[in-house]
A and B are shown apart, each in its own frame.
Chain A
Amino acid sequence: DQQVKQNSPSLSVQEGRISILNCDYTNSMFDYFLWYKKYPAEGPTFLISISSIKDKNEDGRFTVFLNKSAKHLSLHIVPSQPGDSAVYFCAASEVRGSTLGRLYFGRGTQLTVWP
């Protein structure tokens, strides 16, 4: 009963192009969403987040879009760089519940950016 789903296990993009990573969730109580990036043999590192009161959050080359009605979010990376090659995890949580730090993660999408 995965509440956060990343249906694409991998994505391959040419350097300079846009990478779009998708994430769906099922729990309508989720109100905060995060993207983490993970390199091999390292732990996930925080990338960008968005609250449910917004539909877009931008940080440099990274933009996260949230469509609450569709229970869908996406991460756009423009332009993509080879150093962006990593596994990207989508995560969600309920801020207002007593779920301190309980993040629900997707399975991750392996992004490969080739020159």
Chain B
Amino acid sequence: DTAVSQTPKYLVTQMGNDKSIKCEQNLGHDTMYWYKQDSKKFLKIMFSYNNKELIINETVPNRFSPKSPDKAHLNLHINSLELGDSAVYFCASSQTRTSATNEKLFFGSGTQLSVL
């Protein structure tokens, strides 16, 4: 009964291929995210969806396309994979609040993407 689960855990693929990473949360949260951890270990936000609506879209190549079929799912599709896309991709979720404190993010265990 993992709270935020993403699949696959490891993904090894050739340059130019198209791949997808799936994410599901069972916490009842209304907001989901994709974060990328690059080789320098920085965790950076890529996208966020609130109730299936795109809220944050960072400067990410349009080869990356998130899809949120419902509040509990946020998938990441990547076209024409490049060597520089190799990284760990983390899905996360949170519940929007209106108080002075910000949302705590709950992360999945990550997908290690290796592009050869």
Contacts and interface: CB of A to CB of B under 8 A. Distances in A.
Contacts, number: 70
A102 B56 contact: yes
A34 interface: yes
A88 to B, nearest CB: 12
A19 B92 CA distance: 28
A62 interface: no
A78 interface: no
Given A43-B107, A43-B108, A101 B31 contact: yes
Interface residues of B, number: 29
A43 B107 CA distance: 5
Contacts of A49: 101-102, 104
Contacts of B106: 45-46
B41 A107 contact: yes
B109 A42 contact: yes
A94 to B, nearest CB: 8
A100 to B, nearest CB: 5
**Count class of interface residues, chain A:** 20 to 34
Contact of A101 (B9, B33, B40, B90): B33
A105 interface: yes
B32 to A, nearest CB: 9
Question: Which 7 A/B pairs are nearest by Cβ-Cβ distance?
Answer: A43-B107, A105-B43, A32-B102, A46-B104, A107-B41, A95-B102, A43-B109
Given A95-B102, A101-B56, 6 more contacts: A32-B102, A49-B101, A101-B48, A101-B94, A101-B105, A103-B43
15 contacts: A41-B109, A43-B4, A49-B102, A93-B102, A100-B48, A101-B45, A101-B55, A101-B103, A102-B45, A102-B56, A103-B105, A105-B42, A107-B41, A107-B42, A108-B41
